[in-house]
Amino acid sequence: MTFRAQHLLGIEHLHPSEITTLLDLADKYAEDNRKGRAHRGVLEGLTQINMFFENSTRTQASFEIAGKRLGADVMNMAMQASSIKKGETLIDTALTLNAMRPDLLVVRHPHSGAVDLLAQKVNCAVLNAGDGRHEHPTQALLDALTIRRAKGRLHRLSIAICGDVAHSRVARSNIMLLGKMENRVRLVGPPTLLPSGVEDLGVEVFHDMREGLEDVDVVMMLRLQKERMDGGFIPSEREYFHRYGLDAEKLSHAKPDAIVMHPGPMNRGVEIDGTIADDINRSVIQEQVEMGVAVRMAAMDLLARNLRAARGAQAAGVMV
């Protein structure tokens, strides 16, 4: 087994073999989940705390379900009701929680880099559930598993990531993961929604959907992240849908068996036509949610093994 990381903070520092190890294990968990087989011994005796400083539906729910299926004691901190509202800093909150000796800390935060900072202050495994526009590693991993299962491989595929790339941590993590696994990544969107200097990431850039989708294997749509916009990035939602919203006509430029993905939450009629999102022959959006649980189980399982090994070595007085 090759998975050496202590934390899962981003895709950036993962080796391709670590990605494969994690996806292989997640694939097994996905099959067992379908059979209703739980593995409560894996995280037995471990405490998992979920700290979400930003709204979340699927990520928080799937981390909770993943922890429970593996037998962890899971606690969801209600961050809206916490001392943060009374002016406590992120680090003070983290140190307070750390003193309660958790084993796994799952953190979502609106500021890029906040989760990395927190990981330096605690002595448990930290999983990044999305930090600002920076990274969302478990989303990229669940997307990768969904693609691998649908296409039978995760290399030499042509993948278009479309829409609001500039504000998207999902896009950043996916660009890195898909690049590491030797796929061809295209970014498609209006110039205002593509980050400057993006060509340096080894991607091709398109401003026209039909050109960008030509012959791709995977079409990954992104939500317009209005909460991260501080000005007029698009003329109007109607105009945006007309030019960049995924509908049957634009999708017809992709390969006939191309799959459609979206991390959720979706804005129907803005970045995607509802009928495409619901088309079970093309859309794998529900499969993405399903793989989310399996990937988070695999991530916490692997980190817990490393945590136990490190603690065991520490107890035995060995330097690791």
Structure tokens at 85: 């509202």
Alpha-carbon gap, residue 230 to 23, rounded angstroms: 37
Per CB under 6 A, the list member of 21, 59, 60, 93 interacting with ligand NCD is: 59
**Radius of gyration over every alpha carbon of the chain, rounded to an integer in angstroms:** 20
User: Taking the complex as a whole, how short is the minimal distance between the CB of residue 299 and ligand NCD, in angstroms?
Assistant: 14
User: Taking the complex as a whole, how short is the minimal distance between the CB of residue 108 and ligand NCD, in angstroms?
Assistant: 7
User: Taking the complex as a whole, how short is the minimal distance between the CB of residue 98 and ligand NCD, in angstroms?
Assistant: 25
Determine the size of the site formed for ligand NCD (CB under 6 A). Answer: 11
Per CB under 6 A, the list member of 109, 133, 148, 169 interacting with ligand NCD is: 169
Contact flag: residue 130 with ligand NCD (CB under 6 A): yes
Per CB under 6 A, the list member of 7, 134, 223, 253 interacting with ligand NCD is: 223
Nearer to ligand NCD, 47 or 174 (CB): 174
Max Cα-Cα span within the chain = 64
Nearer to ligand NCD, 245 or 263 (CB): 263
Structure tokens at 174: 């996916």
Nearer to ligand NCD, 30 or 46 (CB): 30
Beta bridge partner(s), residue 105 = 49, 126
Burial class of residue 173 (count of CB atoms within 10 Å of its CB; 0-12, 13-18, 19+): buried
Task: Please list, in sequence order, all residues whose beta carbon lies within 8 angstroms of the beta carbon of residue 99, skipping any fewer than 6 positions away.
Answer: none
User: Taking the complex as a whole, how short is the minimal distance between the CB of residue 27 and ligand NCD, in angstroms?
Assistant: 20
Torsion angle of alpha carbons 190, 286, 296, 198, nearest 10°? Answer: -10
Residue 250 DSSP class? H
Alpha-carbon gap, residue 181 to 144, rounded angstroms: 10
Per CB under 6 A, the list member of 3, 118, 263, 297 interacting with ligand NCD is: 263
Per CB under 6 A, the list member of 109, 133, 136, 186 interacting with ligand NCD is: 136
Footprint of ligand NCD on this chain (CB under 6 A)?
A: 58-59, 130, 136, 139, 169-170, 223, 225, 263-264
